[in-house]
Structure formats: structure tokens, C-alpha cells
Structure 1
């Protein structure tokens, strides 16, 4: 007769073990720890995993690394069903579009996101051909919930003012200015704006010929500018330019601190929190201090910003002399000074200067010469023209845009922004026709100027996805570090690990630990590759 099983053993065996989803991020962290020599038991203890789970991850190293190359974000849990290439691409491009909308501080809702996802999916299917037409996608609420979890998206909501309600921010700002005793020379506003630096009106022969060419279109190469100045209009800040390449070929031999702009780079050419933080502390505050000293003003200033995600919330804590105030989300677009004519006027000046540049270089007679000039027109040329266009904005223009938010500071003789842009538009048409672009009319110029502010279209997103890293012959390769020895590299890695241990030991949040660990390890990837290469070479026979 078989022995009876103890009651407690029966209870334990019948209880279901709680299943834990292992994200791709955790799997990659396990593999990284193996590569630096950590033992299986140490990894399991550090990440709170079973030893058998860690061993399984190790054994599936190649599959996991292959999975990390697809579009699914690193924090996404393992998928339980196959997802088509069209679906993966759609979600990747949708995430880029959402980031772009966030950068531009545009309101979003579930419905808007669902509609964009459906249109992206349909366009990608048409591009793939009939083989993918069988797959159906309705952008349902269930899909949105799963998409949101995969990409760690926040909740979206639309802020709006009820009809008939008057925004009270001008009164709030007036009280802040009176309390701080700020003069128009000490009150500033800055805003980000995109610029397609190599885009021509659609009906020009340059645009028509470019559309017919396959591959990446240079007219879709966008950079981001941060433009601003004070309410008096007598001080314009040096533009901050963010490009997708840190070292394009056109900049070879130039000293970046001596460029007419503050040059920074980001993979998607966006102003990030870290870039804005550095700009505020290293450029804005010193520039204000110097300006105040030159004009016999007290070294203090008020900076007005919208609440875009790239604007840190603690800027006032970083300076004893600069106070930062944020516009209400619901009215920022309608009252922010730089958005009331400065950025649009600047872009008109940039287009006019571009045609002037073509005329100076080609005399505007031979279309073949114009084509050759435009083919060689690079980011350095654009940068010079940006500086000229920014310099062309008059103090009256910079002052008049404060009418809605601080009317008391605006001088009565300030010009109308509408009249100013209309005059520039006519000037551009005259120049363009002088440069062999006879077909251009004012509507073409207006359409081009407005296109800089448009959200990324489906076609633009797909072209952005095809864009090779580092257009303009980027020289972003890692610097020559061959003189480092394996011993020095190993010592550096041990210091990194010790520092990580200190940071993570004081935090009980696993997500924070992984985020910090991944950020630091991504930053030293080039050194790890160099270390592996040196180790491999040292084992080879001479």
C-alpha cells in the first residue's frame, strides 16, 4: 500500500506558481552580465530570477540578440503570437510620430492615435504589395491598450478652454513682472521650430526632379532650431541647432564653438531635456549676464516657456538670477511670442537668403549650373544662411510679437507681422524668377513656408525609416582609441560596475535599476567592442 503524501506537500504541489513576464530588456541585461564574466548564480540573485531561467536565457543567446534588432521596444514582454513585418513597422513609425507630436506639444487622444495607426498600416500594406493585403487591422481599443503597454506610453488627454472663457495668463504674467520689477529687456521667450533646410517650392524643376529619383530625399532632411530673444526686441539669442549627425562631412575642419549657431546632435534631430538643460545653464544664463552688464541692468531675467516635454520643470532651481515661468498648455500656441510671427518671418528670410545665395553663385542663368550648386548645397551653407536670416529680423519684429501676452511693452510703431511676411513673400517670388524659377507664384512660397510646421506625414515617416544613419557623409564613427590596453579597459569596466552597484543598491525600483544600467552600458558600447576586439587579437597566433 503506497505511503500517504504529507498534507503540506499536497498543498504546495497543487498551488500554481506565479508566472513572471521576462522583458527583452532583462534578457539583454542577463547576457551583458555573462559577457563581463559574472556567474550564473550572481546574475540570478542580482536580477531576482531563478537560476534555471538565467541558464535558459544564456542558452538562447542568439535568438534573443536577433529579437533585439526588431521594432519591439526593450521593455516589451515576450510576444505570444506572431506579428507581421507590416505591423512591427507600423508601430515603430507610429511611435516616432507620437514623439514628434510630443516635441511639438500637440494634443493627442486615443481616437487620433488609432486613426493615424490605421492610415499608416494601410499605406505600408500598399507599399508591400498584394502579398500582405490579407492581414486586417482595425486599430481597436484592445490593440491600443497592448501598444501602449509595449511602448510604455503615458495617458493622453486634450486640454482645451471652454468657449467664452478668457485666458487669464496675461494678467498672471503682468503680476509676475511687476513683482520682480522686470523691464522688457529682462523678459525672454524661446521656442523650438523645425526647418527643412534643403527644400524648394514644389513646382520648381529641382523639386520635380528630386521626386522622380529613388531613395532618400534631401528635401525631407530636417533640423531643429531653438530661437528666442527679449521683449524689448534689442537682444536675439544665438540660435541652437540640433541635427541628426554630430560630425557631418561639411563641418570638417570647422571649430564648432566658432559656428554661427550652437551645434548639438540628436538621432532624430530633436531638442531633448538634456540638450535644453545644457543650453539653459551653459549658454542662456551666461548670455543674459553679459547682456545685463553691457546695458547697466541688474543681472536677473524672466524666461517664459511652453510646457513641452523637452523643457525641464526645475530650471528655476539652476540659477539664482533667472526665473522660469511656464505657459498654460491650453493657450501656449495662441500667445507664445516666438510663435506669433518670429519663426514664420525667420523662415521667410531663410528662403529669401537661399535664393540670394543661388543667384550669387550661379547668376541665375544656366539650369545645369543651378542643379550642380544645389547638389552641393550642404548643412554648412544652410547654417550660414540661418545666421543671415536670423540677423535680418528687426527689433520691431521681435518686439511686436508680445502684443497678446504683454501688450504694455509693445511700441506703437511696431509693424504688422502679416504685412511683413506678405512683403517678404513678394520679394522671394521676384528673386526666384530671377534665378530661372519662372513658374513660382506666391502660393508656392506660402505652401513651402507652412510645410515646415506640418506634422510628419505617412510618406515622411516611411522615408525617415529608410534614411541611412548620418546623411551628409557623416563621420560619426568612434574616435581612434586604439592606444588603450585591455588591462586599462578592464579596469575602467570594473569602476563602472562598482559605480552601478552603489547607485542600484540605494534604489528598490527594478525599472530604475535597469534604466540606469542600460543607459551607462549603452554609453560605453564602443569601448566594450574595442575590448572584445583586443582580446580576440591577443589569442591569435603571431
Structure 2
């Protein structure tokens, strides 16, 4: 396969048709070129001829001048014609399209138009002054697509049967590429995107606190996008990617993002954009897999399998000669994508289990605390910690067996994959919690959260999601500045004193002296780095 071209049944993409190019797209091309992207790369990404891109780049000065002249007129037009319900509808529609893209659900023009009209009708009641007329015409969609930056968005009406037929042929085609490489299972990677409402629990959750049944708080629909992946041998789980709407959320003030257990990116729509994906590929994925190969004595030669989601650049093959990219046939994510065959469901089950346990532990520690209080204090920093823990819990066996559909030669002893297995594991924990805390949440509630990746975002959900985002931003703006984290001699001394008291209490209770000293030694060994910081701080103050 030629570098960077999407693949379907072993065939290259069809010849490009001539496209009309508006001013905004011309400016987009100029920005990409001035940002260092090659002409051929831009052409592939936007589906244009290289000569067309070259002509636009050569005419950059005139195009920029024209763009400046038209900016004021455009702003005036937008303020007159796209205000009120229409403007808000487009924000919500963008979030909906983003969610569909994250799930790799094919979109048709009709589906987008129906959703746009539905959102507009629901929003009209908020704007009674001046009746607006909105028909969601094809012309409106073309303008909206450019305004929202969906230059790589394609609407499709492909039949499910065609996708199923392509999925059936793809493994044989992929095996030829693997054999020609040749590639070891350790060198073959896949990543997949998913959304996570990180402050969400089953809607009918009740927890008994002090004998009183407390209803579960309807948590806000604060959302992040995740990118999860690993290799076909199950031996390398990539560091998770988290995309949050805020570049510098208050909960992360004073914390170096480089020290987080995830790769952190920001996008106002919490969308994994082309730019974010490319940054991840160059600065996260490449160094991570190269280190894995070097540590394990494997040649740095990687095959990356991706789906056809709009957020995946077409020119990745141009960025590193050691990485070959192959794209799944359109609309086959649910049929072939390894991470979609059980890994993401596993991860969400573990995340749910961890979050449940944290909520109950907090309620147990403070009898005056309510579930609403817990969620108000639960922020993106806590979510990142729990995301990392849940990802650690996904087993090597799971990471390997999900490749059965796309690379059956690597899973010869595959005896079936029970997608409900993770649900059962999560339910076991919840049953245990139910016995201890009179927790009431049925299996359907739990299943709904684990499978929320494929849920349709209703108009009410979209409106609430936008409101929650605005509320969080306003709350962060009104809060006082958080003091940056730093070590002090006094607070380190206090921490070690408390640790000493803890060990003293445990030693008095534990009849097994050998066990006590073993645990104490393990803890002391693991906090040696903090002892060193303490000693250095003390010396500096003398």
C-alpha cells in the first residue's frame, strides 16, 4: 500500500474529483503549508490535486489580503443571520457530530439535517423574540461544515451489508502485509477513540448512609475523549490519551502535565482533532513504541492499524519511515477494530468499579457527606487518576484476544470472547458493595454505563453537556488561585511523623511480626525518593 492511503479490500482510493475551494479552505491550506506540512501531504488530506494546492500557496499574499477585507463583512453577516437558536443549535450539532465520529458511526446528510432541525425546534422556545426560519438546506450544511472545521468530514450512505463483506475480506489482505513486512505481533498496534462521561454513575443508584437511603446524584455530563491502544501480543499497553476541554483546568494547577499518568491534550469540543492525533503520533506514540522495541530487542518497525475516522490524518506514513499505517475499511469498527472488541468495555467496567469504590469510601469516612458533595469535589485530576488505574487493570490476555477478528493467526487458541464477562466482573464488585452498603443499582444500569460508548446523545443530553461545560468554566474563573505544589521541610516532616504513627499502631495490632516488618520495609523502600528530597531540603536550610 502506498504511504498514507486508506485501504479497502486491498485497493487504493479512487481518483479525486475536482472540488470547489472557498476562501476559508484556501486559508486553511496556506496555514498548513506555512506550518511546515508538505504540498503532497496537504493534497492527500484534503482530497485535492498537488497542482491545485501549489497554485493556492503561490497566491498566498493576494488570498490573505482578500481574507482580511472579507472578515468584517462576514462577522456582520454572521451576527445578523446566525444568532439565537441557530447559533446555539450549531454548537450542539457540532458536539453531536463529534460524538458520532468518536464512535465511528457513519453519517448521512439526511441524518445531520434531521438532527439540526430537531435541535432548532427544541431551542426555539428559549428565543421568543423574532421568529427564525431554519430549513437545514444543503447550502446551510456546506457553510456549517466549513465554519465548524469539518473539512475532513464525509457523509455516507453505505449499506451495512457492504461493510460486512469488506470486513470479511480484510483479514486476508492484512495478513499479506504482515507476511511481507514481516511484522511480529509485538510490532503491530491499534488505537481506538472513546468518550467517557467521567462524573457519571447509574441513574438509579441508592446508597445507605447511617440507615438512610440516599439517592444517587445525577452527575454532570462532563466528558473527555480517550485514545486507548496496544499491540497484538498484548505485551504493550500504550499510555492513555485524555482530551479535556480546558488547556489549564484549575484541578491541574501546579501539576506538571508531563508527570501525569496520561498524555493530556485540550480541545474546546473535547475532540481528538487531526492536529492532536498528529501531535500524539509524533511526540507520544513514536517515542513510546521505539522504547518498547529497544527494551525488548525487537526491530523498530511498526504496523499501525487505524479506522477511517475523520480525526485520523492521511499523511502519517510520511512522518516516520519506521511506521506503516493501514486503515480499516469504512464502517467496520464494530466488526474488526481490536480495541472495540472488548478492551474499551473492560476499561469502562474497571473505571466504573473504581469510581464506585471511591464514592463509597468517601461516604464511609464522612457520615455528613452526600453523593452530591462527592461529585462536586470529583474533578478532572481525580478522573485522570482513575482512568490510569482502570487502564492498568485491563489484562494482557484481554489485550491479546481482541485481535481475533482482524488477525486470527495470532490467536490460534481462541475459544470465544464473552463481551459480558467484564460486565459480570463489574457486577460482582457491585453485588459486594450492595451487601456491605445496601447499594441498589441493577445490572441494566451498570451495562448502560459500560456500553455508553454507543449511546445516542439526545437533544437534552447535548444541551446539558454544553451547560455543564459553561458552568465548569465559570466556576473555575471565580475560584481563587491554587498555590502551586511544592515540598517544604515542615510538611515533609509532618508526613513522616504521621507515617511513623501509622506503623506504630499497626505493629501493636499485628500478631504476625514477620508480616509487619515485610510491609514496613516495602513501604520504606517505595518512599525512599521522598526521604531523599526531605534530606536535601534540610541540608539547604542549614
> What displacement does 1:210 show?
4.7
Which residue in 2 is equivalent to 1:513?
none
> What displacement does 1:301 show?
1.2
Say which is worse superposed, 284-293 or 339-348, in terms of deviation.
284-293
Which residue in 2 is equivalent to 1:398?
399
Contact 1:399-1:411 within 8 A present in 2 as well: no
In structure 2, C-alpha distance between the alignment counterparts of 1:241 and 1:378, rounded to whole Å: 14
Which residue in 2 is equivalent to 1:86?
85
In structure 2, C-alpha distance between the alignment counterparts of 1:186 and 1:22, rounded to whole Å: 43
Which residue in 1 is equivalent to 2:304?
303
In structure 2, C-alpha distance between the alignment counterparts of 1:302 and 1:22, rounded to whole Å: 37
> What displacement does 1:450 show?
2.2
When residues 139 and 435 of structure 1 are mapped into structure 2, their CA distance, relative to the original with a 3 A threshold, is farther
Alignment of 1:46-445 (within 5 A): 47=65, 68=75, 78=77, 85-128=84-127, 131=128, 137-139=134-136, 156-160=155-159, 162=161, 165=165, 167-204=168-205, 210-211=217-218, 219-363=220-364, 366=367, 368-410=369-411, 412=413, 416-433=417-434, 436=437, 438-445=439-446
Which residue in 2 is equivalent to 1:15?
none
Which residue in 2 is equivalent to 1:214?
none
Contact 1:378-1:472 within 8 A present in 2 as well: no
Contact 1:400-1:414 within 8 A present in 2 as well: no
Deviations along 1:186-228, whole A, 9 cap, x unmatched? 11100111100010111125996755xxxxxx52100011100
When residues 345 and 476 of structure 1 are mapped into structure 2, their CA distance, relative to the original with a 3 A threshold, is farther
In structure 1, C-alpha distance between the alignment counterparts of 2:63 and 2:202, rounded to whole Å: 61
In structure 1, C-alpha distance between the alignment counterparts of 2:321 and 2:312, rounded to whole Å: 18
Higher relative contact order (CA 8 A, sep 6+): 2
- Give secondary structure in 1 for the equivalent of 2:464: helix
> What displacement does 1:453 show?
3.4
In structure 1, C-alpha distance between the alignment counterparts of 2:111 and 2:355, rounded to whole Å: 36
In structure 1, C-alpha distance between the alignment counterparts of 2:471 and 2:369, rounded to whole Å: 29
Contact 2:102-2:195 within 8 A present in 1 as well: no
In structure 2, C-alpha distance between the alignment counterparts of 1:250 and 1:146, rounded to whole Å: 37
When residues 82 and 249 of structure 1 are mapped into structure 2, their CA distance, relative to the original with a 3 A threshold, is closer
Residue 468 of structure 1 is aligned with which of 470, 477, 486? 470
In structure 1, C-alpha distance between the alignment counterparts of 2:412 and 2:79, rounded to whole Å: 65
Superposition RMSD in Å: 3.8
When residues 279 and 146 of structure 1 are mapped into structure 2, their CA distance, relative to the original with a 3 A threshold, is closer
> What displacement does 1:153 show?
6.2
> What displacement does 1:462 show?
2.0
In structure 1, C-alpha distance between the alignment counterparts of 2:96 and 2:255, rounded to whole Å: 34
Deviations along 1:101-143, whole A, 9 cap, x unmatched? 3344321222212211221122113455xx4696665545676
Q: TM-score, normalised by structure 2?
A: 0.67
Alignment of 1:22-37 (within 5 A): none
> What displacement does 1:468 show?
1.7
In structure 1, C-alpha distance between the alignment counterparts of 2:269 and 2:146, rounded to whole Å: 23
Contact 1:347-1:449 within 8 A present in 2 as well: yes
Q: How many residues end up aligned between the 2 structures?
A: 414
Q: TM-score, normalised by structure 1?
A: 0.67
When residues 149 and 359 of structure 1 are mapped into structure 2, their CA distance, relative to the original with a 3 A threshold, is closer
> What displacement does 1:460 show?
2.5
- Give secondary structure in 2 for the equivalent of 1:269: coil
Contact 2:352-2:426 within 8 A present in 1 as well: no
When residues 183 and 367 of structure 1 are mapped into structure 2, their CA distance, relative to the original with a 3 A threshold, is farther
